[in-house]
Chain A
């Protein structure tokens, strides 16, 4: 079983709402990630945090705002999303951000209406 925990598992939000996805790991990993996955497609990298600092932002629109409050927690704040943002959002972690196995959570299914 994955040791990366994501909440909520399912989220439906309107285009004017503000919501957050949360992720937690207690493996002592110092790198954490957000990926987006559309149906029948591979996961696509959104953000990388290394030692609680944002190291990679893959040209993600500003309506997605990541936050890393501490080494165990990772949030993704959502505001003014579009229906095409509906997807599975995956959190992951690894020991460091260079060449270590990345472990994924079960994801949060987001539907924007």
Chain B
């Protein structure tokens, strides 16, 4: 797999490798986090979410990890495929009646 620094705009991985996309959130009161995938010309698509009472959650080929101590969120994609190419956004819910606040996004590029 490949680990990247925070808020890197682009991550390039080989097809079949694991991808790790990182995100830092700003508000320690945030209690709900979502990862979205946005393909070119489309709206954001829900991938996976996690609440602040959890450290890890797994879906199909995706895992989200939450480290509340350092306010860090990561998305792991196993066996990356060409269809995974997109911009990935983390988003945090700060509680109350606010909508989501999005991170800057990471463009995942899959190399054959």
Which residues of A does B touch, CB under 8 Å?
2, 4, 6, 33, 35, 40-45, 48, 50, 55-56, 90, 92, 97-99, 101-107
Q: Assess whether B100 is in contact with A105, with CB atoms less than 8 Å apart.
A: no
Other A-B pairs beyond A43-B44, A48-B97, A92-B99, 18, CB < 8 Å: A42-B103, A43-B102, A45-B98, A55-B97, A97-B98, A97-B99, A98-B95, A98-B97, A99-B31, A99-B32, A99-B93, A99-B95, A102-B34, A102-B46, A102-B91, A103-B46, A104-B45, A106-B42
Q: Please give, as numbers and ranges, the residues of chain B lying within 8 Å of A56 by CB-CB distance.
A: 97-99
Which residues of B does A touch, CB under 8 Å?
31-32, 34, 36, 42-46, 49, 51, 89, 91, 93, 95-105
A-B contact pairs, 19 of them (CB 8 A): A2-B43, A2-B45, A41-B105, A42-B102, A42-B103, A43-B89, A43-B102, A45-B98, A45-B99, A45-B100, A50-B97, A90-B43, A98-B95, A98-B96, A101-B34, A102-B34, A104-B44, A104-B45, A106-B43
